[in-house]
Amino acid sequence: MDPVHDVLIIGGGIAGLSLASELADRRGSGAGIVLAETEPALAHHTSGRSAEQLIPSYGPEPVRELTAVTVAGLLDPRPVPPRPLAWPSRMVLVGTGAGLRAEAVPGMQELSRAALAELCPELACSPPEAVAGGLLDATSVRTDAAALVAWHRDRATAAGARILTGAPMTGAEPDAEGWRATAGGQRIRARQVVVAAGAWADEVAGRFGAAPLGLRPLRRTAALVRLARPLAPDHPMVVAAGSGWYYRRAGDGALVSPSEAVPSEPCDAQPVLEDVEDLVARLNAVTSLGATGIERAWTGLRTEAPDGVPVCGPDPDVPGLLWLAGQSGYGFQTSTAMARAAADLLLDGTVGPWCSRDTADALDPGRFRRGPGHPLPPLP
Ligand SMILES: Cc1cc2nc3c(=O)[nH]c(=O)nc-3n(C[C@H](O)[C@H](O)[C@H](O)COP(=O)(O)OP(=O)(O)OC[C@H]3O[C@@H](n4cnc5c(N)ncnc54)[C@H](O)[C@@H]3O)c2cc1C
């Protein structure tokens, strides 16, 4: 008879890996934890394509609460990693008065047009009808996505968790102990299953009999561009209020994104070069950055729940199935907190008390259907 694992996590992006590492740490052992990832490499899809910025003022209220928890955790990780996982890196929102007011949250510092031009000299020439001033988030941090992914992987595997790559989960059926799934040709039995499959989450959960939540994968492109004049090392990330295009320093050049949100099937998304070329033209029209060309462009899928708030909780109908999905453009900035919430549910059946009840309730997939989720059997 195949051994029964405690938990099978499907998906080796930042969501699945953060949970594997959190669970292994909390239980003092990774034994009984198995993670299956389709691709030969971890974080091949959206988690390998982000802008690596964690912005506490960005997103709806539950996201902001989860981001504050994640930022605190990544600035002071235990055990101390070989490379820093996060460091201070300010973000400034720029735009018109009405545009800024619509996105202002408490704690942001208002900047006049003159103060903004001092902070970001390349905006001094911007048309005042496009850039009237700014809102500074001095609590924003940058992360190193590759270092973070490696840290979670190593924390989980050092404690005895199994991470299978090149192992797509293709089938599942209930058995006496929970579930029997097939991943990469192997049969894996587990008491509980976590769907952390990014753009594929609805499809993967469907294999366990769950109804789709209506998650929408949305294409977003980023690119590295060459600049005539490099930005200062402490230059903040600049985000346009309303339209959302952004740029930030990346070596001698800049990382830029038009922040498009184009619906897509779950897939290995590829950039539409015209979108990036349009952005370079727009940046050169409203700033004196002097973008001279595109070095590399890539696209990922931000997968959004119908109400824009991530999902973490037991499926309302299917026993032993936990959703960890719908992270949209907040997957890194909420990763530690989302993993903590999922581990709370798996180990104790309830989230908290480190986050508010409102936020814990906002994550529950039961909000899209009737009533609270199916209780999960507690893990040993
Ligand atoms: C251009 C861009 C910029 C972004 N910038 C930021 C940012 O600055 N800050 C931030 O917080 N967020 C940002 N995001 C969002 C962030 O990258 C995502 O929210 C996050 O990566 C989602 O992680 P995930 O683990 O849920 O999904 P993924 O990384 O997509 O991982 C899901 C995994 O599940 C696997 N999988 C699917 N089906 C199966 C199956 N049947 N069996 C096994 N495995 C399966 C997939 O292969 C995939 O590896 C950005 C996104 C984009 C596109």
The one-digit pLDDT tens for each residue of the chain (380 residues) are 789 999 999 999 999 999 999 999 999 999 999 999 999 999 999 999 999 999 999 999 999 999 999 999 999 998 889 899 999 999 999 999 999 999 999 999 999 999 999 999 999 999 999 999 999 999 999 999 999 999 999 999 999 999 999 999 999 999 999 999 999 999 999 999 999 999 999 999 999 999 999 999 999 999 999 999 899 999 999 999 998 899 999 999 999 999 999 999 999 999 998 988 998 998 999 999 999 999 999 999 999 999 999 999 999 999 999 999 999 999 999 999 999 999 999 999 999 999 999 999 999 999 987 555 566 666 76
Cα–Cα distance measured from residue 320 to residue 341, given in angstroms and rounded to the nearest whole number: 16
Q: Both 239 and 346 in a single domain?
A: no
**Using N-to-C axis directions, what is the helix angle for 61-75 and 335-348, rounded to 10°?**
100
Does ligand 1 come within 6 angstroms of the Cβ of 140? no
State the virtual CA torsion across 344, 186, 28, 325 in degrees, nearest 10: -30
Site to probe by mutation for ligand 1, drawn from 34, 44, 45 as the one with most ligand atoms within 8 Å of Cβ, is 45
Domain hosting 46: range is: 4-52+145-215+307-368
Residue 204 lies in a domain: yes
Distance from residue 59's CA to the centre of ligand 1 (Å): 17
Q: Both 225 and 275 in a single domain?
A: yes
Contact partners, residue 54, CB within 8 Å, separation at least 6: 67, 70, 71, 74, 86, 140, 141, 142, 143, 332, 333
Distance from residue 38's CA to the centre of ligand 1 (Å): 13
Please state the atom number of ligand 1 nearest to the C-alpha of residue 183. 42
Locus of tokens 């001698």: 252
**Count of beta carbons in the 10 Å neighbourhood of residue 102:** 11
Distance from residue 360's CA to the centre of ligand 1 (Å): 22
Domain end call among 250, 272, 303: 303
CATH of the domain at 348: 3.50.50.60
Q: Both 330 and 188 in a single domain?
A: yes
Site to probe by mutation for ligand 1, drawn from 9, 14, 35, 46 as the one with most ligand atoms within 8 Å of Cβ, is 46
The pLDDT, as a whole number, for residue 78 is 86
Distance from residue 1's CA to the centre of ligand 1 (Å): 34
Q: Both 153 and 8 in a single domain?
A: yes
Domain end call among 288, 303, 318: 303
Does ligand 1 come within 6 angstroms of the Cβ of 250? no
Domain count, the chain: 2
Cα–Cα distance measured from residue 343 to residue 349, given in angstroms and rounded to the nearest whole number: 9
Residue 37 lies in a domain: yes
In one letter, which amino acid is 220? R
Q: Both 131 and 179 in a single domain?
A: no
Distance from residue 302's CA to the centre of ligand 1 (Å): 7
The pLDDT, as a whole number, for residue 79 is 83
Q: Give the residue, by CA position, lying nearest to ligand 1 atom 41.
A: 169
Does ligand 1 come within 6 angstroms of the Cβ of 13? yes
Cα–Cα distance measured from residue 186 to residue 8, given in angstroms and rounded to the nearest whole number: 13
CATH of the domain at 104: 3.30.9.10
Contact partners, residue 285, CB within 8 Å, separation at least 6: none
